[in-house]
Chains A and B, each alone.
Chain A
């Protein structure tokens, strides 16, 4: 059997040899670490595995999601399971859009110096500075649309010199958009009525009583709509 190619990585500055082809998360587990925080979906969607790293010979600090990024030789890794960014408390039902709401709950947004560090830190390639600026301008829809792919990893907030919690700002913008600006979905309202009236109760009861094996089979064999629209 051919020898597996190995690379040297530095986990909290301690050197480890790990096989090529592993993600940062897998490599750390290979090295003997067990994730009890800072890991979640392992699919690039939950934002739990925020990582800051540097490469040997390079001065720049890079950011990544540990579950989505392959290890490279000479990587110096640091995990950030939690970013203590300021989160405002608000009642989404009591917002007056004529006021500068985002500024009310996140006044730090006015400290933005347009340095673009947040954009460079984002592992999702979001134009973070642009949605922060949109928030400052009061353009809630723009801020909501631009921040759509945000997975709340917190790396932007961590690196921001003005201490703006970009990901919380984006979330408020999206909530405001969904509640007050986006046209209500007629289909959703109709479906909710149907559910309330018990239209699907019989089917649901059947499913809950069917047993794990039959449920698994039904799931695997379910009817999936062809994307081509057949």
Chain B
């Protein structure tokens, strides 16, 4: 099956490790993610003012790109893009006047008819492919790995766009189980990483990183799995800032869930682009039985 794919800016550069592993994993499952042509930045985070319309032009323009291809759905990997696109979509579907004004403003585009659905890859894995099929596709079970799934905020909140329960989601838990990993549930799995505060106030984020990762470590986790390049930067790269304040802090590798899928499917490790992970995950991965560790140049922090 082919499905139009919306990457979002970061996945084309800093988070190529997310994109490449996802595309490879999709292919293995018989799903081709076809990048949308001429897509633009979704403009995250979703605009929350009741009188704002301009900030919906960016997400809606991307839905028009799908519409131009006669497609009625798109899949995203980044939680923030998912949230922004889906909320904008709901906004204009609910408000005909807003949609008309937007369409008139974007006079060089065809009118958006409100018929495109925005999906996150995890939804497709659960509802269309099924965790059973994923389990069958596993060649190298992640036995020996204790992974704490981290959902963050925008995949689940607000309720109308969330892909799972607000407080006790289980979708990534189930996915990781089907990969053969030992899943560690943690109390901060849905608590914010600090998001965009990382640009102007990295110390605020470092506090969040410290809380989230030490809690996961206390519960016995070896690593985190997540689905958002901003969460990834905050929980992975910002560990360096954590160490500046908390000298007893122990580093923990952070994975995109698709990287773990790629390892479990026995795919060539280069699709995981571990060189873009900040904390080196390879020593941990050598714990998996029956797996050859590939030595690569890594982006160290």
Query: Does residue B61 face the partner (Cβ distance < 8 Å to A)?
Result: yes
| A108 within 8 Å of B (CB atoms) | no
Q: Is B108 engaged at the interface, CB distance under 8 Å to the other chain?
A: yes
Q: A107 to nearest B CB, angstroms?
A: 10
Contact B41 A115, beta carbon cutoff 8 Å: no
Among listed B51-59, B227-235, B255-263, interface-contacting one: B51-59
Q: Shortest CB–CB separation between residue B14 and chain A, in angstroms? A: 8
Which listed residue (A114, A119, A137, A138) contacts B58, Cβ 8 A?
A114
Instruction: Say whether A139 faces chain B, with CB atoms less than 8 Å apart.
Output: yes
A141 within 8 A of B: no
Pairwise interchain contact A100-B40, C-beta atoms closer than 8 A = no
- Counting CB contacts under 8 A, is B138 at the interface? no
A136 lies within 8 A of B58 (CB): no
Report chain A residues within 8 Å CB of B57.
113-116
Query: Quick check: A115 and B54 within 8 Å, CB to CB?
Result: yes
* A163 close to chain B: CB less than 8 A: no
Q: Chain B residues near A114: list those with CB within 8 A.
A: 40-41, 43, 57-58, 61
Residues of A92-147 contacting chain B, CB below 8 A: 100, 112-116, 119-120, 129-130, 133, 136-139
Closest to B55 in A: A113
In whole angstroms, how far apart are the Cα atoms of A220 and B115 in the complex? 63
Which of A120, A133, A161 is in CB contact (< 8 Å) with B41? A133
In the complex, what residues of A have CB within 8 A of residue B58's CB? Answer: 112-115
Interface string of B10-51 (1 = CB under 8 A from A): 001110000000000000000000000010110100000000
B9 interface hit (Cβ, 8 Å): yes
Q: How far is the CB of A140 from chain B (nearest CB, A)?
A: 10
Say yes or no: A137 contacts B12, CB within 8 Å: yes
Interface centre among A112, A115, A139, A161 (most CB of B within 10 A): A115
Per the bound structure, the CA–CA distance linking A114 and B106 in Å amounts to: 10
Which B residues lie within 8 Å of A115 (CB)?
54, 57-58, 105
Chain B residues within 8 Å of A129, by CB: 40
Q: Are A138 and B13 in touch, CB under 8 angstroms?
A: yes
Smallest distance from the beta carbon of B4 to chain A beta carbons, Å? 17
Number of interface residues of B (CB under 8 A): 16
Instruction: Select from chain A the residue with minimum beta-carbon distance to B41.
Output: A136
Specify which chain B residues have a CB less than 8 angstroms from the CB of A130 in the assembled complex: 38
CB nearest to B109 among chain A residues:
A116
Nearest CB of B to A187, in Å: 33
Fill in one digit per residue for A137-174: 1 if any B CB lies within 8 Å of its CB, else 0.
11100000000000000000000010000000000000
Given contacts A112-B41, A113-B43, A116-B106, contact A137 B54 (CB under 8 A): no
Q: Which residues of the partner chain B approach A116 to less than 8 Å between Cβ atoms?
A: 57, 106, 108
- Which residue on B lies nearest to A115, using beta carbons? B57
Residue of A nearest to B39 (CB): A133
Q: Which among B12, B41, B61, B105 has the greatest number of chain A C-beta atoms within 10 A?
A: B41
A139 cross-chain contacts in B, Cβ below 8 A: 12
Q: Which residues of chain A are within 8 angstroms of B108 by Cβ–Cβ distance?
A: 116, 119-120
Q: How far is the CA of A115 from the CA of B47 in the complex (A)?
A: 15
Q: Out of A113, A120, A137, which one reaches B9, CB within 8 Å?
A: A137
Query: B40 is contacted by which of A133, A138, A161 (Cβ under 8 Å)?
Result: A133
B98 vs chain A, min Cβ distance (A):
15
Contacts of A120 in B (CB 8 A): 108
> Complex formed: what's the CA distance from A125 to B286 in Å?
55
By a CB distance below 8 angstroms, the chain B residues around A138 are 9, 12-13
Complex alpha-carbon distance, A115 and B58, angstroms: 7
**Residues on the A chain within 8 Å of B105, using CB:** 115
**Contact between chains at B54 and A161 (CB < 8 Å):** yes
A210 to B54, CA, bound (A): 64
A120, B105: Cα distance in complex, Å: 12
List residues of chain B with CB within 8 A of the CB of A136: 9, 41
B40 / chain A contacts, CB cutoff of 8 Å: 112, 114, 129, 133
Nearest B residue to A130 via CB reads: B38
Q: Which of the listed residues B14, B38, B58, B61 has the most CB atoms from chain A within 10 Å of its own CB?
A: B58
Q: Is the CB of A137 within 8 A of B13?
A: yes
Of B40, B54, B55, B108, most A-chain CB atoms within 10 Å:
B40
Set of chain A residues within 8 Å of B12, measured between Cβ atoms? 137-139
Q: Which residue of B lies closest to A120 (CB)?
A: B108
- Residue positions of B touching A, CB distance < 8 A: 9, 12-14, 38, 40-41, 43, 54-55, 57-58, 61, 105-106, 108
Instruction: List 7 A-B residue pairs with CB atoms under 8 Å apart, sorted by A's residue number.
Output: A100-B13, A100-B14, A114-B58, A114-B61, A130-B38, A136-B41, A138-B13
Give 15 A-B pairs besides A113-B58, A114-B41, A138-B9 with Cβ atoms closer than 8 angstroms.
A100-B14, A112-B58, A113-B57, A114-B40, A115-B54, A115-B105, A116-B57, A116-B108, A120-B108, A130-B38, A133-B40, A133-B41, A137-B9, A137-B12, A138-B13
Counting from the closest, the 6 A-B pairs by CB-CB distance are: A114-B58, A138-B13, A114-B40, A133-B40, A137-B12, A137-B9
